[in-house]
Chains A and B, each alone.
Chain A
Amino acid sequence: MTHISATVDGTHRQGEVEPRLLLVHWLRENLGLVGTPIGCDTSNCGACTVLVNGKSVKSCNVLAVQVDGAEITTIQGLASEDEWHPVQKAFKECHGLQCGFCTPGMIMASVDLLSENPNPTEEEIRDGLHGNLCRCTGYHNIVKAVSHAAAEMSGS
C-alpha cells in the first residue's frame, strides 16, 4: 500500500491505496465521489474526465498514486455553495444532454477547453470535445451549451 494525499474539490483527502488503483476508483469507491462515472473503461469515452492541476484528464487512465500532491476538481466541486458553474447552467439551459451519463465528463472537458480558449468557434468546440462521446444527443445541443457558456462567462 502507498500513502497518497491530494486536494479534491477543495478538501484535503488522503489514504492508503494499492498502486494499481485507478484514480476514478479512488474518487468513487474510497472517497464516495460518485458524480464521476465510469463509461467505457478504455480511455475512449471521456465520461470520467476530471481536472488535475487545472487540466482535463481521463481518470480511468491515471493511477491514484500518480496524483499524490495534486489538486483535483470533479463535477461535484464545480459549483459554488449557492450557485452552479456557468457551464453547468448552460448545459441545463440549452438541454445539452439526454440520458446524462456523459454529462459530468462533457462539462469538465468544456470547462478545460474554455479555460484555454474563452471564445471557441463551433469547429473548435467540436474538436476540443472529440475525446468525449455522447450516444444520445448528436452533439448539437452540447455545442450550443458550450457556446452559450462562453458568452455568459465573457459577459457578452
Chain B
Amino acid sequence: MIPSAFDYVKATTVDEAVAALVAAGEDAKVLGGGQSLLPVLRLRLNNPSTIVDISTVAEIRTITDEGTSLLIGAGVTTDEVANNPLVKAHAPLLSMTAETVADRAIRHRGTFGGSCAHADPAGDLPTAAAALDCEFVIAGPGGRRTVSAADFFVDFFTTAVGADEVLVAVRVPKMDGYGAHYEKFNRTAQAWAIVGVAAAVKVEGGVITDARVALTNMGPKPIRATSVEAALKGQPATADAIKAAASSAADGTKPTSDVHADAEFRSHLARVLTGRAVATAAGV
C-alpha cells in the first residue's frame, strides 16, 4: 500500500513548522514519529496535501525538570518515556503506561506527544495524561498557549490543536508519594486497549487520601472516573473498599460496541480493571 503523493517540508524549528502549516492550509498534517500517521496514509484514510516533518526539531526532543513538573517534548519517543529515570521517578504512571504501548519497534519511533495529538480513543498515553492532569503547550501563528488535559482532548481523534498549530510539549506534574498502575485488557497480538484504566493513588497511614483514575476506550476521549475518585478518598486502603468504589467506574460512560467487545462487556471491564488498577497502585 502506497500513500498518495504529498509535498514534504522538513522543519528544523517549531516556528518553521508553524509557518509551513500556515502556508499549506487546512489539510496539512504534522509528522512526528509517524507510527499512527503512516498507517493512515497507507490506507489512504487521509490524503494530506502537505506533510510537515517535525521529527528532527531539537526543541521537542528533550525532557526538562521544572521543579514541580517535568516538561516532556512532544517528540520524545514512547520508549524514552518508558525508560527515562526522571519520568520513572516522578511520573511512574506515565512510564508504566508507555511500556504497554504497541511493541518495541513502534515504541522506538512513536512519540508521547504524537499519541496525544492523534487522540485515538484506544490510545493508552492520553489516558495517563488525563489522570495526571497534564498541560499541553501548543504553538501557533499567534504564539504559544497552554491547555489543560480536560480541554485538550475534545472528541474522537480531535484535540485542541488547530490546523495551523503544533503540539510542542506536555507538562507532567510530579506525583511523588503516589502509587501508580495501568491495567489494560487487550488481544495479545495487538496492544490496543479494549479497555484500559490508569490509576495514581496516595495512601497515608492506611487511608486513601487522593486518587486519580482515568479510563481508556470507554468513550470518544479519555474519561476521568470522578465518582470512583470521590468514593475512594478517605476510605481505608483495603480490597473491599476499593472494590466498592470501583463499582461505579462505568457510571455515566457511553462506550462503543465493536467486534472486540460490546458496550456492556466494556462497562464490566471498566469496573474490574479499575479495581485491579487501584488495588495495585495502592499496594493492596
Contact = CB atoms under 8 A, between A and B. Distances in A.
A22 B43 CA distance: 13
B254 interface: no
A57 B35 CA distance: 10
Given A43-B106, A133-B189, A19 B35 contact: no
B61 interface: no
Given A109-B104, A113-B104, A18 B5 contact: yes
A55 interface: yes
A19 B8 contact: yes
B38 interface: yes
Interface in B102-122: 102-106, 108-109
Most buried by B among A2, A19, A130: A19
Nearest to A42: B39
Contacts, number: 81
Given A43-B35, A61-B39, A63-B38, A56 B104 contact: yes
Given A19-B6, A19-B8, A63-B34, A57 B105 contact: yes
Interface in B32-47: 34-35, 38-39, 41-43
Given A43-B35, A61-B35, A61-B109, 13 more contacts: A18-B5, A19-B7, A20-B41, A44-B190, A56-B108, A57-B108, A58-B105, A65-B10, A66-B34, A112-B105, A130-B189, A131-B102, A131-B103
Interface of B: 1-8, 10, 31, 34-35, 38-39, 41-43, 51, 53, 55, 79, 102-106, 108-109, 188-191
29 contacts: A20-B5, A20-B6, A20-B41, A22-B3, A22-B38, A42-B42, A43-B35, A44-B189, A46-B103, A55-B79, A55-B108, A56-B105, A56-B108, A57-B105, A57-B109, A58-B105, A60-B38, A61-B106, A61-B109, A62-B34, A63-B31, A65-B8, A65-B10, A65-B53, A66-B53, A112-B105, A128-B104, A130-B103, A131-B103
